[in-house]
């Protein structure tokens, strides 16, 4: 156990933040996969050492010099090697049976998680962002957000995956392995997080030029905090708090932004881009490309193609003052 | 005057007159000499290997630090698409066929392949595939979706323009070429074996090439189906892969990987042949467990077609199905483990001599076994969900393909170089090249396992500094650069040795198989007499027995029975012809035209039909029978 922890620490801590690695599992699914990885490393490590040892034995007596000068051994005595061969085959068979058995058990545990019927989350992958929708416990409608998934600790959530365009893959390594998001197919993945914190997910199937910037944040929180967050998300956008934000609201909800984005409670009801109703409360923008700050919002609005060349978001021509106001308004949408 | 009366010198001259090519450019374009065809295959693949290596280095520089901007995402995507497509379709598979085209007739003591013109056709069509990928690259119509292009991303809606078409037709070119080459190799091995070389006495190299070629014949039609369906979707809206039109995007993946997984073994099995030849010669004894080796190759050849789903564990198939493919994938570790054991046991039970080819074998074992074991990890469905599409997989398949195929290939290059050129390579430079390539490769690719476990997905053009991936990526880039330096040393060594290496003589290593019986380099007709075989290691057992009776004033081959290699009849062998080149030009027009209009398949068939008609115009004599007898020295 101690050695396991040490191995995990050595491997995981190198990865700096450790928020996107299967080596620091925080959920049942990732845990069982991690245990299987350790079993694999042991079995494969032992077999590799045996091969290396045997190879050293084979080359030990090797000499330089011309091979042609050495008479070939036409009838070598192979009795002992023959016995060793049988042992070797037995070792491989036992090792493979062990791994196949372990694999089967882990696969079964992944299938066994019973999703809590009330916690179903719809995640729709788009070229290059994630639409996330929860059932509103109060109203029963769908509450939309983007690029951020909140999960209550200790409960199993069933993520229902759909694609709006091409194939993507949903992956939060600390919580579970991948599930591809395939147009025309309804895939689902169960997640049972056991530890609080922020974790990172990323698209794992090449989906176009901005595949590299298609990440999302996952927050595992207490059930109470989760319920509070969802209640806030279900509300319409807050009203602007000052004149600048009011100007920003006008820009966002009556200008080009509204063609693609929704800000619930306003005139903006576009469906092509992420829902912006509570964007100010999110951790990052542009699918994990930038952290949520007013300066980043402004830069992103001014020239998205400079930050994510190939993104579907077009550059919007705004005066510096309007861009500033739009960023101020969006940042205020907590 | 009977043949017995003439001097060896006169006999040689008459054989050369019968088998040589016309001089100059015409000879270059019309040759059907398997050695010349193989040589141009190998030179082409080595040049492309260099280009693909440069692309790799370029991508490594882009990834060497976080947030690099030296490449745009588009350029990066084109680079990995070009690198992967080139390496898989234009280097790895063709170079193995080239080795077979060169070596199989020599190892059989024959004068040419079964279908000499088909071999020429294979090369020209393969060259068409090379130009199909690289000329569009010069015109900025480079494929940009990787070496497999999943729809719908590669479909008409998301990939307008001709990038995906170029990729798909490049595959059609190379696969038709590979099928032609494989049919040729299978026919040659099964029907042109020397008297006495029953299937039970067939060297492992020939078994390897037979199995790999049969796998090619079964596997490659699948990929042509996949890419043809994709082109149909793009060209005439067939909707095979479009869910909106009733198609299924996963259909492409199933067909693709039904080919794609065997593809790995089509590349690896020939390497089994190289390693077996090298280990046998330098351990100074027959390979331990010949039957076990043959059976394990056959087992791999069959199993490889039953585990393609392990490339698709994350697509959401039924879990019990995943478990079945997990078990099937793990099973293949057994024959692979048997092979590794047999090679090392051969060294342990023999009188091993170290040499540059043997070093490559050692490097192969050390590297390939890591790739095999990481393959065992990715074979497990639940674990693969964490590993697939990350750098762990990038590390895995480079360990398998570079460690398992390129290292043996370089060893084979050093091993047979004296036979092909008549000159020895430098031992010192060979050592330096090995150290740099082997060391650089492991330094560069081992850290990628860890990067994958730290969550780095493949096919991303950049990453943020907060991910903590910078250090290992820099190390990987340094390793790749060292490897490339080693490659340059290797090429310099080969070039220098080719120009002025020490003369090699007929048999510099004391080899065990028939190719060492003829001169280095072999004359156009390969063998004066038809050698006969009475063991697995004919060069070691006794005075070589030879048969006489094949024509010396015309091109003839000896056809024998499939299982027992009993001499059946003498077969006329065709001479130089321009029609394979013209036929492949016609096919190229058809293939390229069908990117733009479906009608190209109709009018493009006319020149192909004309070329094939002239190609097969019956001008040859019928096969002759005559005295074929054991030669009395």
Q: 3-state SS string over B268-290?
A: HHHHHHHHHHHHHHHHCCCCCCH
Residues B593 and B495 in one domain: no
B158 touching A (Cβ < 8 Å): yes
Token code pair at residue A333 = 């949408």
Residues B323 and B461 in one domain: yes
Inter-chain CB proximity A54 and B454 less than 8 Å: no
Identify which has the larger pLDDT, A68 or A114. Answer: A68
Average of per-residue pLDDT across B467-489: 97
Give the pLDDT confidence of B226-248 residue by residue, as tens digits: 999 999 999 999 999 999 899 99
Q: Which of B146, B326, B351 sits opposite A103 (nearest CB)?
A: B326
Q: b/e for B73-102, b at 16 or more Cβ within 10 A?
A: bebbbbbbbbbbbbbbbbbbbbbbbbbbbb
Helix B427-453 and helix B356-379, axial crossing angle in degrees, nearest 10: 10
Show the CA angle centred on residue A139, arms to residues A135 and A144, nearest 5°: 40
Give the pLDDT confidence of B399-442 residue by residue, as tens digits: 999 999 999 999 999 999 999 999 999 999 999 999 999 999 99
pLDDT band (50, 70, 90) for residue B618: confident
Interface of B with A in 462-521 (CB under 8 A): 462-463, 466-469, 472, 507-510, 512
Q: How far apart are CA B213 and CA B209, in angstroms?
A: 6
Residue at B321 is within a domain: yes
Strand ranges inside B446-489, DSSP E: none
Residue at B530 is within a domain: no
Inter-chain CB proximity B380 and A59 less than 8 Å: no
pLDDT > 90? residue B489: yes
The β-bridge relationship of strands A148-152 and A215-221 is parallel
Residues B493 and B592 in one domain: no
Structural domain that includes position B590: 580-616
Residue in the structure block whose two tokens are 């479909």: B155
Residue at B265 is within a domain: yes
Helix B249-283 and helix B333-348, axial crossing angle in degrees, nearest 10: 10
Residue of A32, A68, A288 to mutate, testing the B interface (most B Cβ within 10 Å of its Cβ) = A68
Strand partners, B557: B571
pLDDT > 90? residue B276: yes
Contact in structure between B257 and B311 (CB atoms under 8 Å): yes
pLDDT > 60? residue A7: no
pLDDT > 50? residue A2: no
Report pLDDT for A111: 86
With CA atoms as reference, the chain B residue closest to A169 would be B314
Q: Considering just the CA atoms, what is the radius of gyration of chain A in Å?
A: 27
pLDDT band (50, 70, 90) for residue A35: very high
pLDDT > 60? residue B169: yes
With CA atoms as reference, the chain A residue closest to B155 would be A166
pLDDT > 60? residue A4: no
Residues B466 and B608 in one domain: no
Q: b/e for A297-316, b at 16 or more Cβ within 10 A?
A: bbbbbbebeebbebbbbeeb
Report pLDDT for B208: 98
Q: Which of A71, A99, A179 sits opposite B376 (nearest CB)?
A: A99
Side-chain half-sphere of B539: how many Cα atoms within 13 Å?
26
A71 touching B (Cβ < 8 Å): yes
What residues in A contact B337, CB-CB < 8 Å?
47, 88-89, 92
Token code pair at residue B187 = 């026919």
End-to-end CA distance of chain B: 18
Residues B156 and B245 in one domain: yes
Inter-chain CB proximity A207 and B461 less than 8 Å: no
Helix B34-63 and helix B470-500, axial crossing angle in degrees, nearest 10: 150
Residues B439 and B585 in one domain: no
pLDDT band (50, 70, 90) for residue B632: low
**Which strands make up the sheet holding B545-548, listed edge to edge?**
B530-532, B545-548, B629-630
Inter-chain CB proximity A74 and B472 less than 8 Å: no
Average of per-residue pLDDT across A271-288: 96
Report pLDDT for B625: 57
Strand ranges inside chain A, DSSP E: 120-126, 129-135, 142-146, 148-152, 157-163, 168-172, 176-181, 187-191, 197-202, 215-221, 284-285, 290-291
pLDDT > 60? residue A17: no
Contact in structure between B237 and B372 (CB atoms under 8 Å): no
Show the CA angle centred on residue B321, arms to residues B316 and B327, nearest 5°: 120
What residues in B contact A72, CB-CB < 8 Å?
284-285, 510, 512, 537, 540
Residue of B239, B316, B355 to mutate, testing the A interface (most A Cβ within 10 Å of its Cβ) = B316
Query: Complex ipTM, two decimals?
Result: 0.95
Show the CA angle centred on residue B243, arms to residues B238 and B246, nearest 5°: 60
Q: How far apart are CA B439 and CA B558, in angstroms?
A: 47
Show the CA angle centred on residue B613, arms to residues B611 and B618, nearest 5°: 130
Residues B203 and B300 in one domain: yes
Report pLDDT for A1: 42
What residues in A contact B450, CB-CB < 8 Å?
11, 14
Inter-chain CB proximity B509 and A11 less than 8 Å: no
Give the pLDDT confidence of A184-224 residue by residue, as tens digits: 999 999 999 999 999 999 999 999 999 999 999 999 999 99
* Mean pLDDT over the full length of chain B: 95
Least confident span in A261-270, A310-319, B249-258: A310-319
Residue at B27 is within a domain: no
Report pLDDT for A61: 83
End-to-end CA distance of chain A: 44
A202 touching B (Cβ < 8 Å): yes
Average of per-residue pLDDT across B555-578: 93
pTM above 0.90, yes or no: yes
3-state secondary structure of A213: helix
Closest CA to A100 of B377, B372, B406: B377
pLDDT band (50, 70, 90) for residue A47: very high
A2 touching B (Cβ < 8 Å): no
Residues B149 and B273 in one domain: yes
A1 touching B (Cβ < 8 Å): no
Token code pair at residue B452 = 């994958």
Residue at B29 is within a domain: no
Closest CA to B401 of B270, B298, B297, B258: B270
Contact in structure between A78 and B288 (CB atoms under 8 Å): yes
With CA atoms as reference, the chain B residue closest to A14 would be B468
Strand ranges inside B455-582, DSSP E: 530-532, 545-548, 556-560, 567-572
> Could you give the C-alpha distances from B348 to A70, B67, B366, in angstroms and in order?
16, 51, 16
- Give the CATH number, domain containing residue B324: 1.20.210.10
Non-local CB neighbours of A138 within 8 Å, separated by 6+ positions: A231, A234
Residues B101 and B215 in one domain: yes
Show the CA angle centred on residue B259, arms to residues B257 and B261, nearest 5°: 60
pLDDT > 60? residue B292: yes
Interface of A with B in 252-281 (CB under 8 A): none
Report pLDDT for B155: 95
Q: Which of B288, B319, B508 sits opposite A68 (nearest CB)?
A: B508
Report pLDDT for B41: 97
Give the pLDDT confidence of B569-581 residue by residue, as tens digits: 888 899 999 999 9
Residues B481 and B608 in one domain: no
In this prediction, what percent of chain B has a pLDDT beyond 90?
Answer: 91
Q: How far apart are CA B96 and CA B90, in angstroms?
A: 11
Residues B460 and B587 in one domain: no
The β-bridge relationship of strands B567-572 and B556-560 is antiparallel
| DSSP state letters, A98-153 | HHHHHHHHHHHHHHHPPPPTT-EEEEEEETTEEEEEEE-TTT-SEEEEESEEEEET
pLDDT > 80? residue B623: no
Which of B475, B502, B529 represents a domain boundary (last residue)?
Answer: B502
Residue at B528 is within a domain: no
With CA atoms as reference, the chain B residue closest to A68 would be B510
Residue at B629 is within a domain: no
Report pLDDT for B627: 63
Give the pLDDT confidence of A147-158 residue by residue, as tens digits: 999 999 999 999
Closest CA to B246 of A168, A180, A184: A184
Q: Which of A15, A76, A206 sits opposite B285 (nearest CB)?
A: A76
Average of per-residue pLDDT across B383-391: 97
CB atoms within 10 A of CB B542: 9
Residues B589 and B497 in one domain: no
What residues in B contact A178, CB-CB < 8 Å?
314, 385-386, 388-389
Report pLDDT for A315: 86
Residue at B552 is within a domain: no
Which of B453, B482, B502 represents a domain boundary (last residue)?
Answer: B502
Helices (H) and strands (E) in chain B, counts: 22, 5
Non-local CB neighbours of B408 within 8 Å, separated by 6+ positions: B271, B274, B275, B278, B360, B361, B364
In chain B, how many domains are there?
2
Average of per-residue pLDDT across B283-295: 97
Q: Please tell me whether the peptide bond between B148 and the residue prior to it is cis, using omega within 30 degrees of 0.
A: no
Which of B481, B502, B523 represents a domain boundary (last residue)?
Answer: B502
Give the pLDDT confidence of B85-117 residue by residue, as tens digits: 999 999 999 999 999 999 999 999 999 999 999
């Amino acid at each position: 156990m101690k050695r396991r922890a040490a191995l995990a620490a050595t491997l995981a801590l190198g990865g700096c933040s450790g928020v996107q690695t299967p080596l620091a599992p925080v959920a049942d699914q990732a845990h069982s996969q991690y245990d299987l990885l350790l079993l694999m490393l042991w079995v494969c490590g032992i077999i590799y050492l045996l091969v290396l040892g045997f190879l050293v034995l084979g080359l030990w007596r090797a000499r330089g010099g011309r091979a042609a000068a050495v008479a070939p051994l036409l009838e070598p005595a192979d009795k002992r090697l023959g016995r060793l061969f049988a042992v070797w085959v037995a070792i491989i068979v036992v090792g493979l049976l062990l791994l196949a058995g372990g694999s089967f058990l882990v696969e079964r545990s992944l299938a066994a998680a019973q999703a809590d019927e009330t916690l179903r989350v719809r995640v729709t992958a788009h070229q290059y962002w994630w639409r996330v929708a929860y059932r509103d416990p109060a109203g029963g409608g769908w509450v939309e957000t983007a690029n951020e998934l909140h999960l209550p600790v200790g409960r199993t959530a069933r993520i229902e995956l759909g694609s709006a365009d091409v194939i993507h893959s949903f992956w939060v390594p600390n919580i579970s392995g991948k599930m591809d998001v395939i147009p025309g197919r309804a895939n689902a993945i169960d997640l049972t997080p056991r530890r609080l914190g922020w974790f990172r997910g990323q698209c794992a199937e090449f989906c176009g030029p901005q595949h590299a910037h298609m990440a999302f944040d996952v927050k595992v929180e207490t059930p109470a905090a989760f319920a509070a967050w969802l209640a806030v998300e279900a509300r319409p956008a807050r009203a602007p708090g000052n004149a600048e934000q009011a100007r920003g609201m006008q820009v966002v909800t009556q200008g080009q932004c509204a063609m693609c984005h929704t800000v619930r409670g306003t005139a903006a009801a576009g469906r092509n881009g992420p829902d912006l109703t509570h964007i100010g409360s999110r951790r990052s923008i542009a699918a994990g490309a930038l952290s949520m700050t007013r300066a980043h919002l402004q830069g992103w609005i001014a020239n998205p193609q400079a930050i994510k060349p190939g993104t579907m978001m077009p550059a919007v021509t705004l005066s510096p003052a309007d861009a500033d106001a739009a960023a101020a308004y969006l940042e205020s949408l907590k | 005057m009977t043949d017995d009366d003439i001097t060896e010198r006169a006999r040689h001259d008459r054989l050369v007159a019968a088998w040589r090519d016309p001089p100059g450019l015409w000879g270059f374009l019309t040759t059907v000499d398997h050695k010349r065809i193989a040589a141009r295959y190998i030179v082409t693949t080595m040049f492309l290997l260099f280009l693909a290596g440069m692309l790799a280095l370029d991508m490594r520089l882009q990834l060497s630090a976080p947030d690099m901007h030296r490449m745009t995402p588009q350029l990066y995507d084109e680079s990995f698409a070009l690198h992967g497509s080139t390496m898989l379709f234009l280097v790895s598979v063709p170079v193995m066929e080239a080795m077979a085209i060169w070596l199989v007739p020599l190892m059989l003591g024959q004068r040419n392949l079964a279908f000499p013109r088909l071999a020429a056709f294979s090369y020209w069509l393969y060259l068409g595939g090379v130009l199909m990928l690289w000329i569009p690259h010069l015109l900025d119509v480079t494929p940009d979706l990787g070496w497999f292009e999943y729809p719908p991303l590669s479909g008409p809606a998301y990939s307008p323009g001709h990038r995906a078409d170029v990729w798909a037709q490049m595959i059609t070119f190379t696969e038709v070429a590979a099928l032609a080459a494989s049919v040729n190799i299978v026919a040659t091995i099964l029907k042109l074996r020397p008297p006495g070389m029953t299937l039970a006495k067939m060297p492992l190299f020939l078994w390897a090439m037979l199995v790999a070629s049969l796998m090619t014949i079964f596997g490659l039609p699948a990929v042509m189906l996949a890419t043809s369906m994709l082109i149909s979707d793009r060209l005439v809206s067939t909707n095979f892969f479009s869910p909106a039109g009733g198609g299924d995007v996963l259909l492409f993946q199933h067909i693709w990987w039904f080919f794609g997984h065997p593809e790995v073994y089509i590349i690896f099995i020939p390497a089994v042949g190289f390693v077996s030849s090298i280990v046998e010669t330098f351990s100074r004894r027959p390979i331990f467990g010949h039957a076990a080796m043959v059976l394990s190759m056959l087992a791999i050849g069959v199993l490889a077609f039953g585990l393609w789903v392990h490339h698709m564990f994350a697509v959401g198939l039924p879990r019990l199905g995943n478990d079945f493919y997990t078990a099937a994938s793990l099973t293949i570790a057994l024959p692979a483990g048997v092979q590794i054991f047999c090679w090392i046991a051969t060294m342990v039970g023999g009188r091993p001599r170290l040499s540059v080819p043997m070093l490559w074998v050692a490097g192969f074992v050390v590297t390939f076994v890591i790739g095999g074991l990481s393959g065992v990890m990715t074979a497990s469905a639940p674990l693969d969900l964490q590993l697939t599409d990350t750098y762990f997989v990038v590390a895995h398949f480079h360990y398998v393909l570079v460690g398992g195929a390129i290292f043996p290939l370089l060893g084979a290059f050093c091993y047979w170089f004296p036979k092909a050129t008549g000159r020895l390579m430098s031992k010192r430079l060979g050592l330096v090249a090995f150290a740099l390539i082997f060391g650089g490769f492991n330094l560069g690719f081992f850290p990628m396992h860890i990067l994958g476990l730290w969550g780095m997905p493949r096919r991303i053009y950049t990453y943020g500094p907060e991910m903590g991936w910078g250090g290992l990526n820099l190390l990987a880039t340094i390793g790749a650069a060292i490897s490339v330096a080693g490659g340059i040393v290797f090429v310099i060594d080969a070039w220098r040795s080719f120009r002025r290496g020490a003369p090699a003589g007929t048999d510099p290593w004391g080899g065990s198989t028939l190719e060492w019986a003829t001169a280095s380099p072999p004359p156009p007709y390969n063998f004066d007499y038809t050698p006969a075989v009475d063991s697995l290691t004919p060069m070691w057992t006794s005075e070589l027995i030879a048969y006489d009776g094949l024509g010396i004033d015309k091109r003839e081959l000896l056809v024998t029975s499939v299982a027992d290699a009993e001499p059946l009849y003498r077969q006329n062998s065709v001479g130089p012809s321009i029609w394979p080149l013209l036929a492949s030009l016609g096919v190229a027009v058809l293939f390229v035209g069908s990117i733009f209009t479906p009608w190209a398949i109709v009018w493009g068939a006319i020149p192909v039909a004309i070329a094939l008609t002239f190609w097969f115009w019956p001008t040859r004599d019928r096969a002759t029978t005559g005295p074929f007898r054991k030669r009395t020295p």
